[in-house]
Amino acid sequence: MLEDIKILLVEDERKIADSLKKGLEENTYHVEVAYDGLMGKKLFQTGSFDLVILDVNLPGMNGYDLCKEIRAQNEQVPVIMLTALSALDDKIEGFDAGADDYVVKPFDFKELLVRIRALMKRLRQVVPAGNTLQIGDLSMNLDSKEVIRDGKSITLTAKEFQLLEYLVKNKGRVVSRADIALNVWDIDFDTKTNVIDVYVTFLRKKLDRDFPNKLIHTQVGMGYILKEL
Ligand code: CA
């Protein structure tokens, strides 16, 4: 038996919204619909939802901004973005805003169901064992100092661990070298030192080199960002 899963659907095209709601309810999901971004934000704040489906082009507040608002309140709830746009930039913007998945309109309803099930399954697998931070297939336990990526244990030095912790806590956000210097090394950033770049290189070797999906990204002229692409 499926447990009660409550979905917030934010979609301004009533025909699409109503047929999605009907289809999802036939698949045992509970659905609440908001027809604009502001209403979506309000509903999200008042209800506890297990998953959010967001159209990108919405009156009131667009889907990206709404997604950021939702992420500011809740890092865990899966968010699927719906859009008519298929350009890569839009996809990246959606992920930058904190979306977990992305479906391009017109889409097959079954495809959406598959994505929903995959996200709900992933959510159940994330066992918040003690004091754990997570991004994608990487988890770090702040108590035991264990770092695991895709089931493999990764050994980090104390400083590497602190740097990773800072990046994971700021995932999806560009952090400057000055931010890192202040928060990880507790020093004012000195442009003569390349210690931060050196440590980022160490982390990349340990965390990203053997995996196809890179988590650490350089934002030229700005700093670093930890995210799933
Ligand atoms: Ca729309």
Distance between Cα 47 and ligand 1 center (Å): 22
Distance between Cα 4 and ligand 1 center (Å): 27
Q: How many CA atoms lie within 13 A of 127 on its CB side?
A: 3
pLDDT in single tens digits along all 229 residues of the chain: 345 899 999 999 999 999 999 999 999 999 999 999 999 999 999 888 999 999 999 999 999 999 999 999 888 899 999 987 666 676 677 778 888 888 888 888 999 999 999 888 877 665 555 688 999 999 999 888 899 998 899 999 988 999 999 999 999 999 999 999 888 887 777 766 788 899 999 999 999 999 999 999 999 999 999 998 7
Residue 76's pLDDT is: 84
Distance between Cα 171 and ligand 1 center (Å): 28
Are the C-beta atoms of residues 42 and 68 closer than 8 Å to each other? no
Give the residue extent of every domain in the chain: 2-123, 132-226
Rg (CA), the chain: 19
Directed axis angle between helix 63-73 and helix 37-46, to 10°?
A: 20
Long-range contacts of residues 41-47, Cβ cutoff 8 Å, at least 24 apart? 41/66, 41/69, 41/70, 43/8, 43/10, 44/8, 44/69, 44/70, 44/73, 45/73, 47/6, 47/8
Q: Report d(CA 221, CA 211) in Å as an integer.
A: 26
Q: Say if residue 206 is exposed, middle or buried (CB neighbours under 10 Å; 0-12, 13-18, 19+).
A: middle
Distance between Cα 84 and ligand 1 center (Å): 8
* CATH code for residues 132-226: 1.10.10.10
Residue 191's pLDDT is: 65
pLDDT in tens, 56-101: 999 999 999 999 999 998 888 999 999 876 666 766 777 788 888 8
Distance between Cα 37 and ligand 1 center (Å): 10
On the question of a common fold for 2-123 and 132-226, the answer reads no
Architecture of domain 2-123: 3-Layer(aba) Sandwich (3.40)
